[in-house]
Amino acid sequence: MSPDREIPLLTGRHISKRFGTFTANDDINFDIHAGEIHALLGENGAGKSTFVKLVYGLLSPDEGQFLWHGAPVEIRSPQAARDMGIGMVFQHFSLFDVLSVAENIQLALPAGISLSEVKERVITVSAEYGMTLSPDARVGDLSVGEQQRVEILRCLLQNPSLLILDEPTSVLTPQEADQLFAVLRRLRDDGCAILFISHKLDEIKALTSKATILRAGKKVTTCDSASTSAKELAELMVGAALDNSMRTPPVLHKGADSLFCVAQVSRPAATAFATALQDISLSVMSGEILGIAGIAGNGQTELMEVLSGEAIGDVTAGKIELDGVSVAGLGPDMRRQKGMRCVPEERNGHGAIINMSLSENALLTASHEPDNVSASGLVSWVKCHALSRKIIGSYDVRTPHHDPLAGSLSGGNLQKFMIGREMMSRPRLLIVAQPTWGVDIGAAQAIRAAMRRLLEDGTAIIIISQDLEELLVMSHRICVLNQGQLSEPLPAQDVTAESIGLMMGGITNSVSERAV
């Protein structure tokens, strides 16, 4: 690869994209050069996802033009983008668990390439970039970090000139993120251009040379990311000054009783790709935040289903008590009536129904709320609309109109709506998975501040997250879920991101251990 680095590899000139009356991208100009790692930043709903979908051919611009190596080009489809040399690794992987690494990669390559040839190329390229993978390994048996390597290898075997990564470290331990960055720097040095989307500003500063910032669909600026502070980047994103101070949760009263208690709960794996839970025990007090760290695939989904009441029949042993009363045999609706609220990790179809409006989604979990949106089986749509508007206003949910379909919101804005819906009920116990996953820095601060306010009312909170910075900032105590087993919790001030990351990866067995 011998790129002419004077001419931009990809140029976007006056790019605009509208959905009805809503303008997602408004007159955006953008350049990225070969051998450059370029960040794309912005709040949720700023237009980042729309822009990269235009670059990758999933959408077509209403106005403007793309240039490739300085020449005008139309990117009519993802296949056309791949043929040009554009690859994309999405935030949510598109792999088949039952197929091998080589079989998954073969599906994305041109017809006629044999499986044995794919295996040879996987071995060669993975070794070249330090991403050790067995081509015969079944994807369902791989860790999340290894699955991401499969996604990246699938792009690399197509010899991309431009690689787009959307929130690539959201499911990685710090150690896995470091390994990914080493690969990306190697690609950069080989002349590949990388467009990198992340809300983690420390990653942006460590990895990228330039950052283009979008706000409300418009380009704000392109700046030198290394010489611009994280605070300045954040303020360019939100258009206002931010308070970066981190307030430690209030000190707990010694001797306080447990509000919620789980003791020796086990659950067998429901499917071949599920994780069995083994002797899970935890407790959380009124006014306390308990953080549970873990890499996806180690039992977080199964644990959330047990705690929320979605998996009553599968639990084979142990007890689950709220305020000293057993709720082990109660389903989600009955647990809600007892004061428990849960926000699952998966937004689409689990936390919200994407083909229903926001007011209809508000109704789904509000039938027993003080707002009285329903009575005697009759729904008051006036009250449902009022509740939805209250959530939208209180949690700064950006919507194209007053009551859109949930599926029309960006992932971050739908997250804000879901969390706001549950927190507004002032629950006794709030259990939330990945509370700020895919949420911009301003919204993340708002969500965390709202959770801290709940503590003042005596709410107990359990946060299940892969974001170690978030857990260290928010939690009173932290434990780690690895292969279906939960470690003993330790005070947050006594652990580090490194020690937790090693436990999440199964490298150490105790948060007190350190790498030798």
Residue 183's CATH number: 3.40.50.300
Tens-digit pLDDT string for the chain (516 aa): 445 567 999 999 999 999 888 899 999 999 999 999 999 998 877 899 899 999 999 999 999 999 999 999 999 999 999 999 999 988 777 889 899 999 999 988 888 899 999 999 999 988 888 777 889 999 888 876 788 888 888 888 888 999 999 888 766 777 778 888 988 999 999 999 999 998 888 889 999 999 999 998 999 999 999 899 888 888 888 776 655 444 455 545 444 678 999 999 999 987 766 789 999 999 999 999 999 998 777 888 899 999 999 988 778 778 999 999 999 989 998 999 899 999 988 887 888 998 999 999 988 887 666 556 777 678 888 888 898 999 998 888 888 888 999 988 877 788 889 999 998 888 999 999 988 876 777 778 888 888 988 998 899 999 998 888 889 889 999 999 988 999 999 898 888 877 887 787 666 555 444 333
Classify residue 420: in a domain, yes or no.
Answer: no
Beta bridge partners of 234: none
What is the maximal distance between C-alpha atoms in the chain?
72
Distance CA(490)–CA(186), nearest Å, equals 38
Number of domains in the chain: 1
CA distance 490 to 502: 15
Q: Please report the pLDDT score of residue 506 as a whole number.
A: 66
CA angle 386, 372, 378 (to 5 degrees): 100
**Cα gap 237→516, rounded to integer Å:** 40
Asked, for residue 206, whether it belongs to a domain, the answer is yes
**Identity of the amino acid at 300:** Q
**Tokens representing residue 349 in the block:** 């179809």
In a domain, 214, yes or no: yes
Whole-number Å distance between alpha carbons of 44 and 436: 11
Rg (CA), the chain: 24
* End-to-end alpha carbon distance in the chain: 40
Per the CB < 8 A criterion, the answer to whether 45 and 38 are in contact is no
Q: Measured between alpha carbons, how far is residue 139 from residues 15, 96, 106, 427, 466 in Å?
A: 38, 7, 13, 39, 21
**Cα dihedral 295, 296, 297, 298 sign:** positive
Q: What gap in Å lies between CA 217 and CA 240, rounded to an integer?
A: 17
Q: Hey, what amino acid is at 457?
A: D
Q: Which residues pair with 480 in a beta bridge?
A: 293
What is the rounded distance in angstroms from the CA atom of residue 456 to the CA atom of residue 476? 14
Domain that holds residue 19: 10-238
Contact, 434 vs 465, CB < 8 A?
A: yes
Residue 213 is assigned to a structural domain of this protein: yes
Is the Cβ–Cβ distance between 327 and 348 less than 8 Å?
Answer: no
Structure tokens at 54: 């235009």
By three-state DSSP, how is residue 282 classified?
Answer: strand
Q: Please report, for residues 48, 50, 140, 142, 180, the alpha-carbon distance to residue 271 in angstroms, rounded to integers and kept in the order given.
A: 36, 35, 11, 16, 30
Q: Alpha-carbon distance 55 to 60, whole Å? A: 9
Rounded distance between C-alpha atoms, residue 458 and residue 55, angstroms:
48
In a domain, residue 114? The reply is yes
In a domain, 482, yes or no: no
Nearest to 338 by CA among 354, 360, 320, 322: 322
Residue 453 lies in a domain: no
Nearest to 289 by CA among 454, 171, 442, 417: 454
What's at 238, amino acid-wise?
A: V
Strands 317-322 and 325-326: antiparallel
In the 8-state DSSP scheme, what is residue 120? H
> How many other C-beta atoms can be found within 10 angstroms of the C-beta atom of residue 81?
23
DSSP conformation class of 418: H
Take residue 1 and report the two structure tokens written for it. Answer: 């690869």
Match 């990117």 to its residue by tokens. 75
CA distance 438 to 208: 19
Nearest Cα residue to 35 out of 69, 2, 81: 2
User: How many CA atoms lie less than 13 Å away from 386 in the CB half-sphere?
Assistant: 9
Distances from the Cα of 334 to the Cαs of 317, 365, 368, 477, in angstroms?
Answer: 20, 12, 10, 28
